[in-house]
Structure 1
Amino acid sequence: MAASKSPFFDTATTLGKIVAFFGVSALCGVLAAGLLVPAAAAAGTAASGSIQFFDQLPSELQRGALAEPSSIYASDGSLIATLYEENRQPVTLDQISPNMIDAMLAIEDDRYYEHGGVDLQGIFSAVVSNVTSDRTRGASTITQQYVNNVIIDTNLQEGGEVVFSGQKTIGDKLREVKLAIAVEKELSKDEILEGYFNIVPFSGKTFGVQAASKYFFNVEAKDLSIAQAALLAGVVNGPTYYSPELNPERSLARRNLVLDAMLDKGRITQEEHDAAVATPMELNLTPVPNNCVGAVQAPYFCDYIEHLVLNDPAYGAEREDREKLLYRGGLSITTTLNPTLQNAAQAAINETANPDTTDAEIGHSMVSVEPGTGKILVMAQNTRYTPELAPGNSVQNFNVDVYQDGDPTKYLNGLGGFQPGSTYKPFTVAAWLDSGKTLNATLNGNKRTYPAGTRWNASCYGGAYVSTEPWTPINYGDTNYRTTTVLEGLAQSFNTITLAEARELDLCKFQEMAFAAGVHNGKGADGEREMLSVDPPSTFGGGGDASPLSMATGFATFAAEGLMCEPRALVSVKTSDGEELPVPEQSCSQVMRKEVAQGVNMATQRVMTAGSGINLQVGVPIAGKTGTNDFRSQTWFMGYSTGLSTASWIGNWKANNTSMSDKLIGGRIYPEIDGSLIAGPSWKNFIQRVPGQYGANPFANPPANVVGQAPAPPRPSAPAPNRDNRGNNGNNGNNQNND
């Protein structure tokens, strides 16, 4: 809080100026007694008291590391975002234009190289000038200003009280004086001047001469002209008051005052002075976008990285320590993001569900991981990353869990996922194969009702799960109830075949296999990851909400033949001085027998050649699975090759059980909603933009004991008269009715 102002000491009045003169003279007397002639302590009690008071002041300046922006980079070294509380780019003195040094010394401290930190001659000159003229002139040396800025910076970092110039007491000023003298004994003049140029504020969050040069003129500090240097030197006295951006006329007048001082002190010639005065300001404002809102690319991935660092005790014991390191520590963070794939995914998303042509509640996202490594290569979505409340804006990440590993102290800023629908069925097939059964086993997929009291094998429920209500599962379109193979049942996404599998399995088995593969409850908050719920509908609906990243990881486990790799985003984290900080290591484990994963891959490839993905083929070996929940509010396409696993999700993120059938999506309304109609084509759009940018080797065939003996084909029958032979349901053979 600013001290109250007494009219008696108001330096705007003649009496005030005289009082100020004697006050400063007294201060100088203390300095002279305490510093210049220590022996004066014996001359009298007043001098002795002054010296004692002065001696009790701190004599060592505590200097912390200056705040520097942290940078997040993609895998190719391109910038993702810059995070900072203070935009500062430290430079050495030889990287600063001599024009800048001359301008600053001329206006702030022309005797800098002559005094020892405190300029008594300057103090008396300032007092005389202030008493005898209408101009206010300061007397703080550059060393004192450096000390003052260091104290402010330290207090800001440590949460201490910050005292600005207009609030200082005599004691504050004496402390500043003593510290200035101490600094002069510790550091060379050039070291102090370099420190000063790097710490002083120039505008808002712009600190230091290099950042100011880049911000105001988009030039390096070493290349500042006389006119540019004079402008910046003038700004230091009042970054807001003399701001060339906010107060250009005032700033120009101040610049010319600095040029006058440079001429008066002999630092420039008359010709240089006149040319600089005649030069317009010619600002070239070049702000450094701050934090993920100003990300150059992939703002939601940036947000994910931000939360990973803030959640990890490897970067500080307490969250405030981690925040200080991330926003002030000058970290260089290299990530797994692939910009080529990221840009392709974002373009596909924008073409499918651009926020300008899509209802605000409709979200669309894609996330890709690399099988066998867990590297996150893509994380994109259709909303604008901004906290401003408007349709199409959101800072929440559609791709990730609410909490990291279910730990409520580690917020990830995610929505926590959505019902996976039929994309979950491959895990039931995995459990089927793991139990020793085959893909070509035939099952009765006729429609039936499971009455209340039906018992299902469930080891994690004490042996059995008992249905509490009658239940009649239906296939998409309420059609295609027939006996067929497990392989065909997945390719055509028949719910009744999946339920027939579950009747012969332990319900807990497929949830355990999905969990081991990386799929979990994205909204868990019990301190650890949780499996999705165990009940019969979960065999083809997931039994809860899974995040797109979780689903992409699960399908990457299939692609890597059962090798599950934890999602990985951080490659390296380095401090400003090059020290390597720890990052989570690649963590992979074989969670599924290879032949089981190979069998699932055979079935999901059949989805692409004879099922709901038939129109989504891209000319390379691809496997996939579509998914739609019962409410038509959440749709998916899981597309994967041997080198890339991608979850493409589109759904109602604001009202989970509200259908999208009457919503505007990319400027159109879809009368029919399922994963093969929107999420799938968007994935195809993405993949077709990046041919050859990901691994797509042929999938290995499963062994014969996993495939099993194919059933004999049915005997042909005579076609019925007037029958539409375009497909099972008159839909041009696309089988869109079986998502």
Structure 2
Amino acid sequence: MLFAGVLSMVGLGVASVIVYRGYARDLREPQEVINSNTIGSSVIYDRHGNKLYEYIPEFEGLRDPVALADISPYLLAATIATEDASFYGNPGVNFRGLARAAWENLTPFGSDLFEGSGGSSITQQLARNIYIDFDERSARGRTGAERKIKETVIAFELKQNYSDDQILEWYLNQIFYGANAYGAEAASNQFFGKDAKDLTLAQAALLAGLPQAPGDYDPTNSDKLPFAEARQLQVLDLMIEHLSTVNSIPTLGDKNNPLLTLTVAEIEAAKDEPLNFVDTSIDILAPHWVWYVEAEVTKMCHAGLFEPPADLSCDKVVRQGGLRITSTIDLGLNSIAERIVNEELSRTEAQYGGHNGSLVAIRPGTGEILAYVGSRDYDREDIDGEVDIAQSLQSHGSTMKVYTYLKAFEDGWVPSTFVEDEKLVLDVGGLPRAVNNWNNSFLGEITVRTGLSQSVNTTAVRTLMDVGEDRMRALAHRMGITDLRQGDCGPTITLGACEVKLIDQTFAYAVLANNGTMIGRPTSEDLPDGYRELDQVSVLSITDADGNPVYTFNHPEEVQVVESAYAYMITDILSRDAIYWSRLTIDRPAASKTGTSEEFRDGVLMGYTPDLAVGVWMGNADNSQMAPGTFSSVGSGPIWRIFMGEAHAYLELEPRSFDRPDDISVIDCEGHSEIFKKDTPAVKDGDCRGPDGRGGTATPTPAGPVFPTTSGDPTPTPDGRFAFFYTVREGDTIESIAEMFDVDLQDLIEANSLKEDDIISSGYVLVIPRQAVVSPSPVPDPDPSPDPEGVIVPVPSGGD
């Protein structure tokens, strides 16, 4: 038989039939083998379908299989002329190559004499690439000869069972062209920025010459480009040499319809055609986000949120799974965030010495991450731009105080509870350590509202010592913090003594925006009991290589992790008081908290509206200090304020109030008002209590006082009218304000979440519905105040 005779040529003799059957037995279908080896590169998109990146499979590269009809006929012709002129019609082997194999096995020179000299047919190369693993392909000597026999047997089998067109299609989709590109489509896009069907003759000839030695002929390397161009000329000469073969290649199996009718003149002209290479650097948008989502998808797979493609582990699902991942970020909004971070740092870095920044934006109502800036510039080595600050452990300073006071509220404290702001010295490892305030002064007996809004350190530490570090830590874990696992932070944990991640902190503040409700997807983190049950959402959908859905974020899940009244107390303080103290008001109701670490190494601003929670970090990735006095209110604060303004406009979100829970009561306290949880008496003294510590009627907390950040002009709405923010003055009533702006009284009440029997008092800011036709007089900015930050300061030697 033919096969036995051929195998005898390469040294098998009478055992040829047995050997042949051994290699041919149970041969898997090529497409099945291809799919199991690699389904292909996965691609990540933003929520609107904009491509962010194609994940390159480790040890494999970019792949984009296409049909033979979608590959330029020039590339088919150039490949056949170069690799296997007898391809159409041969039994799967190049007999000249087989003769060489016989020489290698039967002469004393051994296989090394002709190693790497080529001669394998297209079908043999396909057999080698998909059926023989890398180590076996690289073998020499006897093992190399056995590999040659094996690929020859497989090549015969392939030609017996599949059409020439099918084999050629598999080959052109599997062959390595260099620059991480496997297959004609990936290579065409990588080198020329076009699909394989659009290649010119000159470009096709260059590609056809690369598989022989992709590293030596790398056209992206200026030193090797001349060799690539010389190789291209060789390919064109081979096309002329085999012109009759080139012009007899059938069109998709139609022997009566030749694919090409090239002339020598046309081929010669191609030698002078421009190749028009494109930049082969891998495009990547939002790089830190791309790597974050890769890790998240892997964890989601391990957690059983979706099943990986068959025969593929979760650790390889992104790089080799051929997935199409639609992520949650909005590329347009992310670009706004990147621009603002970079512009503000460029403006301030000479003064403040903070050269890097990070920003995370989450939609509280769904838990979806809409913007993610891991650092100012991923490609800048001088600022360690590749470090993803959003996932790095950093001190978040006084932004940690919300967990302390929230725990105190759970214990029966209220915003009006008294707490001492006096000199405080801690025993730290047997040494005294003073807890000072930002201005090294003390206010005496103050309320929780004042302590939190003005970021007073001593009151926060005293409160922490009352509620207990472990209990505060447990609350932070419930709200979304995945770190703080060490038990030696001490009372200054409330000042940022132990580090957390910006992504976690932003998610936790989104819980505050939701009045204590965590909204997201089931967690894929490996967390201890008592930690958060949900994660922020980074992926909207995943489809497999065939377009079948494997994961869809249909709807968020909700977990009430803190009672709504207590979460609202924090929001009320941060939106009515703290945001003014830090001078970071925006054009709508908003809450914010500043945080600056010791020695000004980190500046953090956490803030939110009902529609967007945003965390901003500013500092240096190498943990070096910024300039003294670089409080977050002047560093990261402006980044937050500018982004919040542009983000809400970009997302077309109208201003709205924070929802006041039904179990919140507002008490009139001799000229000012305070909030309590209904039917819950305060357990400590304060400056505002009813006779029994509960109940009462007074002005509710509406949206929270908000001043325009720029000119004070009202904000246009789609119907051409305006939404205003009006500060209530002495003598105003809800009826007189409705009359002043010519708005319906009920509309005004609903816009501000008021109750029928609520009484407003001076100092409150009301949202005036957009039906208003009269603009209020501009509201002046609040009186300037020092930055509200505080840092932990050791007691100087001999000082007090």
Please state which band the TM-score falls in when normalised by the shorter chain: 0.7 to 0.9
Query: Equivalent of 1:620, from 588, 595, 599?
Result: 588
How much has 1:256 moved relative to structure 2? Answer: 2.3
Deviations 1:50-79 (A, max 9, x none): 444444444454523264221111111111
CA–CA distance in 1 between the matches of 2:320 and 2:191?
A: 22
Deviations 1:291-313 (A, max 9, x none): xxx52x21111111122234442
CA–CA distance in 2 between the matches of 1:688 and 1:307?
A: 31
1:537 paired with 2:492, answer yes
Aligned equivalent of 1:330 = 322
SS at match of 2:394: coil
Q: Which runs of 5+ in 2 are unaligned?
A: 104-115, 249-259, 520-534, 673-686, 688-781, 791-800
Query: Equivalent of 2:394, from 394, 400, 418?
Result: 418
Aligned equivalent of 1:398 = 389
Q: Is the Cα contact below 8 Å between 1:563 and 1:588 reproduced in 2? A: yes
1:553 paired with 2:523, answer no
1:191-270 residue pairs with structure 2 within 5 A?
191-245=166-220, 246=224, 247-265=227-245, 267=247
Query: Equivalent of 1:82, from 47, 54, 66?
Result: 54
1:182 paired with 2:182, answer no
How much has 1:84 moved relative to structure 2? Answer: 1.0
Aligned equivalent of 2:641 = 684
Deviations 1:136-171 (A, max 9, x none): 99643321121122235xx24xxx433279997443
Query: Equivalent of 1:48, from 14, 22, 25?
Result: 14
Report the CA distance shift for 1:518/1:188 in structure 2 as closer, same or farther (over 3 A). same
1:280-299 residue pairs with structure 2 within 5 A?
280-286=272-278, 289-290=281-282, 294-295=283-284, 297-299=285-287
How much has 1:352 moved relative to structure 2? Answer: 2.7
Deviations 1:517-544 (A, max 9, x none): 113426xxxxxxx3876643333x1441
TM-score (norm 2): 0.69
CA–CA distance in 2 between the matches of 1:509 and 1:96?
A: 65
CA–CA distance in 1 between the matches of 2:404 and 2:319?
A: 45
SS at match of 1:367: strand
Aligned equivalent of 2:626 = 660
Query: Equivalent of 1:596, from 566, 578, 581?
Result: 566
1:53-68 residue pairs with structure 2 within 5 A?
53-62=19-28, 63-65=33-35, 67=38, 68=40
1:478-493 residue pairs with structure 2 within 5 A?
478-493=440-455
Q: Is the Cα contact below 8 Å between 2:455 and 2:788 reproduced in 1? A: no
Paired residue type of 1:437: W
Query: Equivalent of 2:657, from 678, 683, 698?
Result: 698
More deviation, 315-324/595-604:
315-324
CA–CA distance in 2 between the matches of 1:271 and 1:472?
A: 88
CA–CA distance in 2 between the matches of 1:356 and 1:734?
A: 20
Aligned length: 621
SS at match of 2:413: coil
Q: Is the Cα contact below 8 Å between 1:607 and 1:624 reproduced in 2? A: no
Paired residue type of 1:710: C
Report the CA distance shift for 1:96/1:690 in structure 2 as closer, same or farther (over 3 A). same
Q: Is the Cα contact below 8 Å between 1:447 and 1:472 reproduced in 2? A: no
More deviation, 376-385/672-681:
376-385
SS at match of 2:188: helix
Deviations 1:242-278 (A, max 9, x none): 4455224422321321331342436189973313322
CA–CA distance in 2 between the matches of 1:319 and 1:117?
A: 30
CA–CA distance in 1 between the matches of 2:425 and 2:96?
A: 98
Paired residue type of 2:53: A
Q: Is the Cα contact below 8 Å between 1:34 and 1:51 reproduced in 2? A: no
Query: Equivalent of 1:710, from 669, 689, 695?
Result: 669
How much has 1:120 moved relative to structure 2? Answer: 4.2
SS at match of 2:34: coil
Query: Equivalent of 2:475, from 488, 491, 513?
Result: 513
CA–CA distance in 2 between the matches of 1:652 and 1:249?
A: 46
1:340 paired with 2:309, answer no
Deviations 1:373-426 (A, max 9, x none): 22122221435435x9x42234332112xxxxxxxxxxxxxx3x2222211222
Q: Is the Cα contact below 8 Å between 1:71 and 1:79 reproduced in 2? A: yes
Aligned equivalent of 1:526 = none
Paired residue type of 1:736: D
Q: Is the Cα contact below 8 Å between 2:354 and 2:626 reproduced in 1? A: no
How much has 1:183 moved relative to structure 2? Answer: 1.3
Q: Is the Cα contact below 8 Å between 1:97 and 1:224 reproduced in 2? A: yes
Q: Is the Cα contact below 8 Å between 2:387 and 2:621 reproduced in 1? A: no
Query: Equivalent of 2:138, from 163, 174, 179?
Result: 163
CA–CA distance in 1 between the matches of 2:265 and 2:7?
A: 45
How much has 1:641 moved relative to structure 2? Answer: 0.7
CA–CA distance in 2 between the matches of 1:46 and 1:517?
A: 71
CA–CA distance in 2 between the matches of 1:29 and 1:320?
A: 36
CA–CA distance in 1 between the matches of 2:564 and 2:180?
A: 55
Q: C-alpha root-mean-square deviation of aligned residues, in Å? A: 3.9
How much has 1:96 moved relative to structure 2? Answer: 1.7
Report the CA distance shift for 1:710/1:508 in structure 2 as closer, same or farther (over 3 A). farther
How much has 1:179 moved relative to structure 2? Answer: 0.8
CA–CA distance in 1 between the matches of 2:93 and 2:633?
A: 76
Q: Is the Cα contact below 8 Å between 1:440 and 1:486 reproduced in 2? A: yes
1:635 paired with 2:627, answer no
Report the CA distance shift for 1:636/1:240 in structure 2 as closer, same or farther (over 3 A). closer
Report the CA distance shift for 1:319/1:450 in structure 2 as closer, same or farther (over 3 A). farther
Paired residue type of 1:570: V
CA–CA distance in 2 between the matches of 1:196 and 1:590?
A: 56
Q: Is the Cα contact below 8 Å between 1:244 and 1:252 reproduced in 2? A: no
How much has 1:674 moved relative to structure 2? Answer: 0.6
CA–CA distance in 2 between the matches of 1:111 and 1:649?
A: 65
Aligned equivalent of 1:70 = 42
Q: Is the Cα contact below 8 Å between 1:638 and 1:646 reproduced in 2? A: yes
1:429 paired with 2:429, answer no
CA–CA distance in 2 between the matches of 1:182 and 1:494?
A: 80
CA–CA distance in 2 between the matches of 1:650 and 1:542?
A: 15
Paired residue type of 2:407: A
Aligned equivalent of 2:630 = 673
Query: Equivalent of 1:378, from 371, 381, 384?
Result: 371
Report the CA distance shift for 1:650/1:393 in structure 2 as closer, same or farther (over 3 A). same
Paired residue type of 1:558: L
Q: Which runs of 5+ in 1 are unaligned?
A: 1-26, 36-44, 129-135, 401-414, 453-465, 523-529, 662-670, 715-730
TM-score (norm 1): 0.75
1:107-122 residue pairs with structure 2 within 5 A?
107-120=82-95
Aligned equivalent of 1:405 = none
Q: Is the Cα contact below 8 Å between 2:312 and 2:321 reproduced in 1? A: no
Fraction of identical pairs, as percent: 24
CA–CA distance in 2 between the matches of 1:468 and 1:344?
A: 49
Aligned equivalent of 1:571 = 540
Q: Is the Cα contact below 8 Å between 1:70 and 1:82 reproduced in 2? A: yes
CA–CA distance in 1 between the matches of 2:62 and 2:649?
A: 39
Q: Is the Cα contact below 8 Å between 1:334 and 1:571 reproduced in 2? A: yes
Report the CA distance shift for 1:659/1:318 in structure 2 as closer, same or farther (over 3 A). farther
Q: Is the Cα contact below 8 Å between 1:61 and 1:147 reproduced in 2? A: no
How much has 1:583 moved relative to structure 2? Answer: 7.1
